[in-house]
Each structure stands twice: as C-alpha cells, then as structure tokens.
Amino acid sequence: MDRSRKDWGISQLILAVAVACGSIVATTITGAAGSGTATFLFHDCIGPSGTPTSFTAEKTELPLAAAPSFAQATAYRLTDGSAVFIALIRDDVHNPPGIDASGKATITCFVDTPLRGTVAFSGFLTPLP
C-alpha cells in the first residue's frame, strides 16, 4: 500500500471518530436542553424538634419525556444550601414497602403542584457539608 492511500485511510478514521464524538456531544446537549431546575416550596412541615415549618428546595428535572417534574427524583436540595430533603413517601400513594416500619420518614411537608394540587411528602433532612 502506498503512503497516500495509508494517509487517506487514517484521515477517514480520524474523521469518523470526530463525527462520532460530535454526535455524542450533540446528543448530550440536546438531552440536557429538555431538563432544568425546578423549585418547590415545602410548607406546613411537621417533624422532630428543629424541623423547619417551611423551606424552598430545588432539583434537576429529567427531560420532558419523563414523568411530572415533582415525581422524578426523591432528593431536593434546599436553596439555602444547608441540607437535602430526601422524600421517601409521596401522599401515601408512593410508599415503598418497609419505609413506614423503618422510621426514616421523620418529616412530613406539603407541596402545591400544578398537576396534582397539594401533595404530602414524607422523608428526612440530611445536612450538606
């Protein structure tokens, strides 16, 4: 094989790798474009001593093709950066087996949602470092 053919083959390989990498980056950017940060006001909270009566928390939403934004994740970062609320139970409808018996859901708060009205969330706060 002469040198020009070999160089042409390497050039094609480099081009193919560049196109593949570009496709991955474009897919990543497009996937991220459908997601954002949603902010929720947790109010009328009850729990052990020191539980705030309300707090504002946010989380990263999944792309639009996923379920309603408030149901896509269980970790909500408080906007003041002090803690993360881990929601274990939602409205007694989404209650994984054993959660009630574990005693881990020590805080219950309400969140007003556009699709389902006021929804109760039970879980716990864990401080951020």
Which residues on adjacent β-strands are paired with residue 50? none
What's the domain count of the chain? Answer: 2
Which of helix, strand or coil describes residue 61? coil
Q: Are 110 and 122 in contact (CB under 8 A)?
A: no
Instruction: Compute the Cα dihedral for 92, 97, 101, 107 and give only its sign.
Output: negative
Is the same domain home to 120 and 67? yes
Which of helix, strand or coil describes residue 1? coil
Is the same domain home to 109 and 71? yes
Between 78 and 104, the more confident residue is: 78
Between 103 and 125, the more confident residue is: 125
Instruction: Return d(Cα 29, Cα 19) in angstroms, integer.
Output: 15
* pLDDT over 70 (residue 128): yes
Mean pLDDT of 93-97: 73
Q: What is the mean pLDDT of the chain?
A: 74
**Alpha helix stretches (DSSP H) within 34-126:** 99-102
Instruction: Return d(Cα 120, Cα 109) in angstroms, integer.
Output: 6
Is the same domain home to 29 and 58? no
* pLDDT over 50 (residue 93): yes
Residue 78 has a pLDDT of 97
Is the same domain home to 26 and 68? no
Residue 114 has a pLDDT of 85
Instruction: Return d(Cα 102, Cα 74) in angstroms, integer.
Output: 17
Residue 92 lies in domain: 37-127
Instruction: Return d(Cα 35, Cα 52) in angstroms, integer.
Output: 29
- Chain segment 13-69, per-residue pLDDT in tens: 443 443 333 333 333 333 444 558 889 999 999 999 999 999 999 987 766 666 555
Is the same domain home to 45 and 21? no
